[in-house]
Amino acid sequence: MILLKKNILLNGSCLEIKSYKNPKLSYSIKRDIINLKKTYWKFSTSSQLNWFKKNIHPQDVHNCLFLNNKLIGYTLLRNRKMLINDNKKKYFLIDTVTISKEFRKNNFGNLLMEFNNNFIKKKNYIGFLLCKKEIAKFYINNNWKNIKKNKLHVDGKKSKLNGMYYNLPKKLQSELNKNSFYIQTN
């Protein structure tokens, strides 16, 4: 079952973005995701399958970008909970944003992030991600905001990565500036 779908015609080619809940992800799409990830991260198929089993929950969502039925982009939205000033909130942890090497620099990353942002808003969730400093500008250009490093705690520890959020209500944004921000990734 597909949760959300968007079709775009691009110079005679069919561009399609589909969202799948984890249990509905077919083996062939999972295999394509792992192969796409292997072009960016150097982990074996078996280690990635083990990571899938250990870290991906049934409520997690896979957003897949296809060009003429070939997977060229992928994002994992991990459905989690966080604490902001002792208040539990549901959020999607954006994980594994990647575009096939041959299609980078074609604005497909922005298109996938726009889809991710719309999905987060439609579900009325908060979006959160961790990234290296050199990638933060990409997310800022896609309407994400930085979290002060001294306020961010991930899995009980201060994070060395940049934390960013999306769709955080104004009231919680002001709370975030005053208090610490604790998230769990698993």
Q: What percent of the chain has pLDDT over 70?
A: 86
Q: Which pLDDT band, with edges at 50, 70 and 90, does 70 fall under? A: very high
Task: State the total domains in the chain.
Answer: 1
Question: Which pLDDT does position 2 carry in this prediction?
Answer: 65
Q: Is the pLDDT of residue 12 over 90?
A: no
Task: Dump pLDDT digits (tens) for 129-144.
Answer: 999 999 999 999 999 9
Q: In the predicted model, what is the mean pLDDT of residues 9-25?
A: 83
Question: Which pLDDT does position 172 carry in this prediction?
Answer: 77
Domain interval for residue 169? 2-183
pTM for the model: 0.87
Burial label, 27 (beta-carbon count in 10 A; 0-12, 13-18, 19+): exposed
Q: Is the pLDDT of residue 173 over 80?
A: no
Q: In the predicted model, what is the mean pLDDT of residues 88-99?
A: 90
Q: What percent of the chain has pLDDT over 90?
A: 48
Distances (CA, A) of 166 to 16, 26, 116, 139, 182: 23, 29, 10, 10, 16
The residue among 11 and 109 whose pLDDT is bigger is 109
Question: Which pLDDT does position 4 carry in this prediction?
Answer: 64
Question: Which pLDDT does position 44 carry in this prediction?
Answer: 86
User: Could you tell me the CATH number of the domain that includes residue 64?
Assistant: 3.40.630.30
Question: Which pLDDT does position 180 carry in this prediction?
Answer: 67
